[in-house]
Amino acid sequence: MRLLVFITLWAGRPVARGLLYPICSYFLLFSGGAQRTSREYLRRILQRPPSWKDVFRHFHAFASTIHDRVYLLSGRHRYFDIRTEGAAALQAVLAQKRGCILLGSHLGSFEVLRAQGMFDHNLPITVIMHEAAASNLNGVLHGLRPEIRDRIIPPGTADTMLAVKERLERGEIVGILGDRLFNEEKGMACEFLGQSRRFPEGPFLLAALLQVPIVLFFGLYQGGRRYNLYFEPLVDHIEMSSDRRSDMLRPWIERYVSRLEHYCRLSPYNWFNFYELAEHARPSRPAV
């Protein structure tokens, strides 16, 4: 990764891009777990048995978004053709001087929005992130922009809720990915791509406790230098009752999952949650 960063910054993105082909070929040959997860996902989203070319394309899209983070974090984000839809939903919340939860996923790239906000629009975006999940990768990439660490809140600590509350009360944005469970995190089973899969309740519970709106975000890689960013308002505030917590969260979690599935179908090779899909999924009906 350090070599790839050096070549990218020295020789440019187009030159370094060629290195992704042998890297993806290596993982196609030797990463059995990721390949199985990719095939299972692609079989469902494409509704046909995936070929090795499909799996390679899936890996290459993932590698491309990781590689692009080098340019994004080094301040070269204007190199990309970034198109935005629905940004008025986010702007309307910020205009009220209200903080909000920006709920994303492992679909496409969250980094493209964070870079735009950091360099162009002065958007105060803080991200709740499990850095340990990709510590080596994050260590290299965050070295390009060390101050970004001040905008990362680790989840599950005694100070997490306080740190989130402080930023939201200042009218800032707190980003969180809502499609992966960690450790003993409480999850809710929802149907996703024809199978039952558990999604975390945490982001929705956080919004309910702090009475802040949730705006959905999807940053889809379209190949080449192009990204499409989508924003959608999900809920202005979630009513909460201690004895009916799950029932009151369910409609919003299911809505999120429905929109996640929609955008997966829109850009099927952008789904990069290689860790959980196979491990936690249980068929709820015969696979297509």
- Give the bridge partners for 100, in sequence order: 173
On the question of pLDDT at 153 being above 50, the answer is: yes
Helix, strand, coil percentages (3-state) for the chain, rounded to 5, are 55, 20, 25
Q: Distance between CA atoms of 222 and 230, rounded to whole angstroms?
A: 13
Q: Distance between CA atoms of 232 and 104, rounded to whole angstroms?
A: 11
Interval 35-57 mean pLDDT? 95
Interval 94-101 mean pLDDT? 88
Highest mean pLDDT among 19-28, 154-163, 243-252: 19-28
pTM, 2 dp? 0.89
Within 13 Å and on the Cβ side, how many CA atoms surround 218?
26
Higher model confidence: residue 89 or residue 131? 89
Residue with tokens 């940053």: 219
Q: Report pLDDT for 141.
A: 76
Q: Report pLDDT for 118.
A: 62
Q: What are phi and psi of 159, to 5 degrees?
A: -100, 0
Q: Report pLDDT for 283.
A: 38
